[in-house]
Amino acid sequence: MELLDVVDENNELLGIVKDRKTVHEKSLWHRLVSCWIMNEKGEILLQKRSSMKKRNPNKWSRTGGHVNAGESVENAIIREVKEEIGIELSKQELKLLCTYKRDNIQDKYFGYDFFANVSPKISECVLQKEEVSAVKYMTIEEMELAKEQNNKDYSFVDWTDEEFYKTIKILKDERKNIFLQNSQGM
C-alpha cells in the first residue's frame, strides 16, 4: 500500500499519512514529482504509460509519480525514475525547474518538476511493465508539433497553452545551456 503525506493548501505538512486511494477519493492535498530527462543532443526522454494506468493510459509523458510519506521530493524523483525506467540519478544531476499547485475536480496536489541532463541509451532502460510500456527520445520541436496538431498520444497536449509553452521555454533554455557547455568543452 502506497502511503502519502497529506499537506494543506499552502503545501505545509499536516502530520497526517493516508493511503493513496484515500488521498484521491477524498481529494486531499499531496505532492507529486516529475522529471524531464534530456540527452546531450537536447532530446527529451519520454515514457509511454502502461495501458493499465488510470490516468493517461497509453500516452507519452515525462517520468514521475507520488512522493511517499516521509520522503523528500528529490528522493522521490530519484526513486520514480529508477523504478519506472531503470535509470539511476543522483541529487547532483537534478535541477528543480519549478513547483506548481493544481486544484481540479479529481485531484489536489503540489507538483515539483525536475530536470536531468543525462544520456541513457534506450537499450539501457529497464521498464516497470505495470507503469511503462516503452521509452523514446523526442525533440522539443516535435513536442511543439504534437501540441499544435492536438496529438492525443501525448499527455502534455491536454495542458493549457500557458503551462505547455512555459515548460517548452524552460526546456529550450536548458538545451541552450547544454549546447553552450558542450561547445566550451565542459
pLDDT per residue as tens digits for the range 127-139 = 999 999 999 999 9
pLDDT per residue as tens digits for the range 73-108 = 999 999 999 999 999 999 999 999 999 999 987 789
Res. 186 pLDDT band, cuts 50 70 90: low
Please identify which residue in the block is written with the cell numbers 499519512: 17
Q: For the residues 101-126, what does the mean pLDDT come to?
A: 93
